Amino acid sequence: MMNDIRVRYAPSPTGHLHIGNARAAIFNYLFARSQNGKFIIRVEDTDQKRNVEGGEYNQLEYLKWLGVDWDESVDVGGDYGPYRQMERLDLYKEHWQALLDKDLAYKCYCTEEELEESREEQLARGEMPRYSGKCRHLASDEQERLEAEGRKPSIRFRVPQNKTYSFDDIVKETVSFDSNGIGDFVIVKKDGIPTYNFAVVIDDHLMAISHVLRGEDHISNTPKQLMIYEAFDWAPPVFGHTTLIVNEQRKKLSKRDESIVQFIEQYSELGYLPEALFNFISLLGWSPKGEEEIFTREELINIFDSERLSTSPAVFDPMKLAWLNNHYIKEANLDTVVNLALPHLVKAGKLPEKLSGEQEAWVRELIALYQKELQYGSEIVELTELFFRDDITYNEEAMAILNEEQVPEVLKTFSEELQSLEVWTPEDIKKKIKATQKATAQKGKKLFMPIRVATTGQMHGPELPQSIALLGKDTVVSRLNDLVQSLEK
C-alpha cells in the first residue's frame, strides 16, 4: 500500500487561503501528479476556537480557482474518510487508549497555573521549558483522588530518554533530534480533542500517506511524530520541509506585512489570472532546470522534481508576479481580459452594470488598447481615467510642450481636419495626422506630442489614433478648439 504515492494538504479552516498554504498545496499537487499518485485534502478542524465560518469553503474554492484538483476530500469522498478530523474522534480515541494500555502514554492532571509556574521556574534557572514529569508516575489511587477533586486529565506521550531521532529529509537531508530535549507532550487535551502531533500521525498512517511535504516551521514537530510512529510500530512517511517564504528584506513573510498581498482571494479580486499565480507560486522555493520561468500547469507537472526544492528561503517578489501576470494577460484572448478588467470599471462607477451594445463595443476597444501594459485587472481604472473625465488639467511639463511656437498651428489644423471626418475610426484619424503633418511641415515630436498632450493630457500612452477614436469626435474637437483659443490669447 505504501508503495503508492499518496500526499496530502491539510488546512485548518481558521481563515482564508494564504500564499504559504497555497504553495504547500501546489507542491504536494505537483508531486502527486508528476508521480501518477494521489492528492488528498484533509481538513484539520480540531482547533474549534480558531475555526471561522466559511474557512473550509474558502480554502477549497480558491484552490479550485488556482487550477488545483484533488482525488479525495470532504467534497469528493474517498476510501480513507472521513476527511474532517472532528469526524474521526472515535479513531483517535481507539489509538490513544492503546497507548495508555501499553503505558506509552499517561494521564496528566496538572492545571494551567501549575504548568505556568513550573515553566517560569525553569526559565529562572536558565533551562529550556518542558514538562517536568510531575504526573509521569502517578499511582491509580492518586489519579482517583485528583479526579474526585474535579480535575480533568490531559493525556501525555511518554517520551523515551537518551534516544536520537533522525530522518532523511528531501530538502534538509539528514536531520537529528535528541529526545532529552523534548518533554512529555500532550496528545489529547482535557476536552478530549487530540492535539496536532497525535492526530496527524494517525491520519497520515490510516490514509496511507507516503510523503509529507510541508513548511520548515513544522520540522520541530517531526521528532514527536516519529515517536508516535515508533510507538505503534508503523513506518513513517518520507518528509520534506520546504524553506520559508521571505519578503524583499529577507524577513519571514508575516500576515501583518501589508506591503505584500498575501491571500489568494485578494489576488482574484484584484484581477490576477489564476494561471499566472499558479506559475508564480510554483517557483517560490522550487526551480526547474534552465532559465525558463513561464510554464503551464501541465508543463509544471511534467518537469516537477522534488530534488530541486530549494534549500534557501524563497523571496516573494511582487514586481516579478506583476510581470508574470502581465505576460499572461498579453497572451490571453480579449474576452478573458475584458472579464478581468470590466468589473473594476463598473465597481469604480465608470460604467453602469448593464451596458448597451454600443457601450460594450466601446469598452472592449478601450480594454484592448491597454491589454499589453495591464498588470492586473483593477489597474484598468487608473490607466483609463482620461476617458472618463470631461476636463483636462495640464501640468507644468505638459504646458511646456503646448507653449512651443508651432503648437497653435498644429492643433488648429488638426481640429479642422478632424471636423471634416465623416467616419470616425483609428485608420481615418491616422490619415488626418499625416494630413496635418503635410499642411504644417511639422513632424516627429513637434507634431505628435502637442496632439497627444492636447487630446489626452498625457505625455505618454497607448496608440494615439486609437486613443483619439475612443475619446470621441465631439470631446476631441472641443478640447482642441478650447486649447487653441487659450493659447492665442
Active centre residues (catalytic): 255
The Cβ of residue 224 has, within 10 Å, a number of other Cβ atoms equal to 22
Q: Cα–Cα distance between 236 and 201 in angstroms, integer?
A: 8
Name beta bridge partners: 82: none
- Closest to 208 (Cα-Cα) out of 83, 80, 306: 80
Helix 407-419 to helix 445-456 angle (10° resolution) is 70
Return d(Cα 465, Cα 225) in angstroms, integer: 67
Q: Which residue has the cell 533530534?
A: 177
**What is the dihedral angle through the alpha carbons of 83, 84, 89, 93, rounded to the nearest 10 degrees?**
50
Q: From CA 246, how far away is CA 317, in angstroms rounded? A: 9
Collapsed DSSP state (helix, strand, coil) of residue 367: helix
Closest residue by Cα to residue 199 from 8, 6, 3: 8
- End-to-end CA gap in the chain: 89
Residue 156's DSSP bridge partners are: 106, 186
What 381-388 contacts at long range (C-beta under 8 Å, 24+ apart), as own/partner pairs, is 381/344, 381/345, 381/348, 381/350, 384/345, 384/350, 386/456, 386/457, 386/458, 386/461, 386/471, 387/470, 387/471, 388/350
How far, in Å, CA of 35 to CA of 29, rounded?
10
3-state class (DSSP) for residue 355: coil
Helix (H, G, I), strand (E, B) or coil at 428: helix
Q: How far apart are CA 407 and CA 248, in angstroms?
A: 47
Q: How far apart are CA 252 and CA 428, in angstroms?
A: 56
Grid coordinates representing 351 are 460604467
Element (H, E) at 23: helix 19-34
Look up residue 412 and give its three cell numbers: 488648429
Q: Beta strands of 257-386 (E only): which ranges?
A: 314-315
